[in-house]
Amino acid sequence: MVIDFLDLRKQINGIDKKIFNSIKKNIDKSSYIGGEDLLNFQKNFSKYLNVKYCLGVANGTDALEIAIKCLNLKKKSEIIVPANTWISTAESVINNNHKLRFVDVDETHNICVKDLKRKISNNTSAIIIVHLYGNLANVEKIKKISSKYSVKIIEDCAQSHGAELNGKKTSSFGDISTFSFFPSKNLGCFGDGGCIVTNKKDLFLKAKKIANHGGLKKNSHSIIGRNSRLDNIQAGILNIKLNYLDKWISLREKQAKFYKHNLNGVGDIKFIKQIENSRSSNHLFVIKTNKRNKLKKYLLKKKIYTAIHYPLSLPQMPVFKKKHKFYCSKMNAVKWSNNIISLPIGEHMNKTKIKKVCLSIKSFFNG
């Protein structure tokens, strides 16, 4: 039995006809840019998140770049970013000509509150909170610390569609939040897509302006903007998939529980810590072991495909290493980049497959 890390075709089994019909409808109407599906998706997704405004953009990286731009931070501001995240979170800071300040991660693999206290200062203008793997960052504590410095909070929810803290969805804690609809995300489209959400009308209108060549009306450009759109065909696909998101998250939750039940106490395996009263979207199921590389090879021999998110933490990344090496070597993010391994999870998985993965991991550790 081959166990793929990901098999996106399985996710749309049973809803593919609806999706094909939606694509056909928009092709028949030549409705590609803007349109009814985009308006509906923006409305439906903000309702799902319980956030007032949603703006579809071209991808999650654009969403971050535009969100930062909206905040009108002073030139060369310092923005705090967790040391383990996808490159886009940091890229968006540099592309806005601001300064990066990496903060270490804790057992949740998100911003470490202790390190945040050490690194935040009067030079800090914003913090980008990432809910990595779909696992909640300690938003309440981060907000408490940041309120003393009146810094802006951006939530990068690219991996946390539907994740919650005390029943409140991620994206509703900060000033402005961003999502990616990259195909492999819990809510993904058939190409690139993303959105910005906020409860603040002024930020929403600013984002809309920036994403639409600097103008809210056609042929009237009041600032230098860019072109960043979620197209109508993708929005139509997302509208259909949104109806299944909670079901998919529940399935992932069950799978994560089953993994934990089977792998508890096996070898030196450790799980990612979840903060109290939070519900992860389980976008990724990550475990830690000192024997990561050997385990990965062993599983591959058994045709079990795994991944690493991410093999290098950002302070180790060639583009940042020179500037940050003096404090990176002792970081958890750096240490754990050698230990983390993501196991297959999602609609293509079932109990039998998870059992096989777990039995293989047990046989690796127990011989």
Query: Which residues in this chain contact ligand PLP in the complex, by CB under 6 A?
Result: 59-61, 85-86, 88-89, 130, 156, 158-159, 180, 182, 192, 194
* Residue number with CB closer to ligand PLP (146 or 180): 180
E strand spans, the chain: 53-57, 78-82, 99-103, 124-130, 152-156, 164-165, 168-169, 176-180, 194-198, 270-271, 278-279, 285-288, 340-343
At position 46, the amino acid (one-letter code) is S
- State in angstroms the smallest separation of the CB of 37 from ligand PLP: 19
- State in angstroms the smallest separation of the CB of 319 from ligand PLP: 16
* Residue number with CB closer to ligand PLP (178 or 232): 178
Q: How far apart are the first and last CA of the chain?
A: 21
- State in angstroms the smallest separation of the CB of 156 from ligand PLP: 5
Calpha distance 202→186 (Å, rounded): 29
Angle at 46 between CA 215 and CA 182, to 5 degrees: 80
* Residue number with CB closer to ligand PLP (182 or 336): 182
- State in angstroms the smallest separation of the CB of 50 from ligand PLP: 21
* Residue number with CB closer to ligand PLP (187 or 287): 187
Residues in the chain: 367
263, 361 in Cβ contact below 8 A?
A: yes
* Residue number with CB closer to ligand PLP (186 or 332): 186
* Residue number with CB closer to ligand PLP (11 or 364): 11
Phi, psi for residue 265 in degrees, rounded to 5 = 80, 5
* Residue number with CB closer to ligand PLP (63 or 299): 63
- State in angstroms the smallest separation of the CB of 324 from ligand PLP: 19
- State in angstroms the smallest separation of the CB of 106 from ligand PLP: 17
- State in angstroms the smallest separation of the CB of 182 from ligand PLP: 4
